[in-house]
Copies of this chain bind each other. A is one copy, B any other.
Amino acid sequence: MPLFGRKKSDDPAPLDRTREPLPPPPEPGPSGLRTLDDHRDYLLSCLEPLPAFSQHVLDALGLSLCEDVYAPISMPRFDNSAMDGYAVRAVDVEAAGDESPVSLPVVGEVAAGQDALHRLSPGTAIKIMTGAPLPAGADAVVPYEATDRGSSDVRVYAPSTAGQHVRYVGEDVEAGTHLFSVGQQLGPRDIGLLAGIGHDQVLVRPRPRVAVVSTGTELVEPGLELGNDHQIYDSNSYLLAAAARQAGAHVFRVGLVSDDPEQVKQLITDQLVRADLVVSTGGVSQGDYDVVKAVMPELGATDFTQVAMQPGKPQGFGLVGDDRTPMIMLPGNPVSAFVSFEAFVRPAIRRLMGVTPYTRPTVRARVTHPVSSAPGRRQLARGIVTVDEDGTRLVELAGGHGSHLMADLARANALVVLPEDVTAVEAGEDVDVWLLDEVA
């Protein structure tokens, strides 16, 4: 896998591609702010899935296939035995029983991987192992358990029928069968099937390389001493790096940078060579020190906007540097950053990977207590989903609306999604939720 330059095109680049504008952004929604769906769709429309490349099949786990795959061989490739036992003609043992065993001379033996040298003559048996090719002339296998396991002669204690314990050529897969389609995300059983038809390489989209940066002069690296009374530890870059990794990305946690404009520009520029996507947090709001918003327009085409969602209103996006690397600039409050990740970054990672659906599936859950929501905003509230005895999903909110409540965020296992026009939900009503963890 080439570390650098994966997205470089063969076309000579214009001299300064950083000056190319973004596509026109969507109009504001009814609240005067951009809707969450519009903003997400806009971001996704500015991203292309990463170019496909050939990958060892085992490394393709979780990746999106970029080719249709047809079976080059039949499976089984040849009629073979499903059991360890004796290949026979069913008619020769049709009278066999516990009290009236049929005795047959054993005229040969065939193991898995061997060619069957012998043709079975009527009235004889050939010892056969599981997976070994069925000798010509045989039409059934008598398993060891129904015999005395004899070597020169075998006694058969049970009748057989034609086809018994025989696996016929192509009954699993016929040569030429269409097995996999473009866009399928490969799981372990797919990997097994691909290997089974002899594929050691498949064309897939790679894991996006995502660089994660926290900005803020107040931030200190975990593990170090807090230097003054008003410093705090950087949690966002850890939170987002872990979430991006879980979403399938290859993550570089770049860590933190102060609010110094030159340092921010240098650090982002340094990442562009190895990143398919840059994610930053902080510095995109209305504050006087919102450095990301201030400096990123110098590095590329950017779009800073306010999205009708809670939390997560201030959002930034850009195509930066000569390669127009996408950069998603999230707000700095940890809860806002995480919710924005779910709303925008996770779909972006999946689009780069070519994995659909881009968004988390919405499921329904019953709220256990009344919930209120700001009018005109899509509310994404932290929730704890449980399943009751009847299999009904219940959800209670975890903590308040504060965007700084990290312990509640860790405790939550879902986001409750309340539409813009909803201001109150009564206990017992059903709401949409995104499940963040596996909930039985």
Contact = CB atoms under 8 A, between A and B. Distances in A.
Interface of A: 57-58, 61-62, 73, 75-78, 80, 82, 84, 109, 111-116, 127, 129-133, 144-145, 167, 171-173, 177, 179, 187-201, 216-224, 226, 228-243, 245-246, 253, 259, 285-289, 332-334, 338, 361, 363-364, 391, 402-410, 412, 436-438, 440
9 contacts: A58-B245, A61-B245, A75-B406, A112-B218, A130-B287, A177-B407, A192-B240, A193-B406, A198-B224
Contacts of A332: 130-131
Contacts of A246: 61-62, 187-188
Contact of A191 (B133, B145, B238): B238
Contacts of A240: 188, 192
B289 A112 contact: yes
Q: How many copies does the complex hold?
A: 2
Nearest to A246: B188
Contacts of A114: 217-218, 230
A242 B55 CA distance: 14
Contacts of A131: 216, 218, 232, 332
Contact of A239 (B188, B199, B338, B406): B188
A229 B287 contact: no
A230 B78 contact: yes
A161 to B, nearest CB: 16
Nearest to A133: B230
Contact of A243 (B57, B188, B287, B408): B188
A171 B405 CA distance: 8
Given A82-B403, A230-B133, A242-B61, A199 B222 contact: yes
Contacts of A193: 235, 406-407, 409-410
Nearest to A258: B113
Contact of A187 (B58, B62, B242): B242
